[in-house]
Amino acid sequence: MPGVTDIAVYQKLSEVADELDQLASEGVSLVGEVALGTASKTVRGMASAVYQRIMSDADEKLDS
């Protein structure tokens, strides 16, 4: 069974963050909106870390 690629992880995390942002904008309570917004920022941070790793790997391959 093939593993999940880094780019697939990045794409999924970005998708989840977008969904959390959408839910936050539709929130009926301030607490729910803040919780969803915080979750979105956390997930975007994870996506950013994966993206940076992807780009780092690409730079290393170009340097080789």
What are the residues whose beta carbons fall under 8 Å from the beta carbon of 40, sequence distance 6 or more?
17, 20, 21, 24
Mean local confidence (pLDDT), 18-37: 93
Using alpha carbons only, give the angle 16, 18, 21 rounded to the nearest 5 degrees.
110
Q: What is the pLDDT at residue 58?
A: 80
Domain boundaries, the chain: 6-63
Residue 1: pLDDT over 90? no
Single pTM value for the model: 0.84
- State the pLDDT confidence band at 17, using cuts at 50, 70 and 90: very high
Whose tokens are 């839910």? That residue is 23
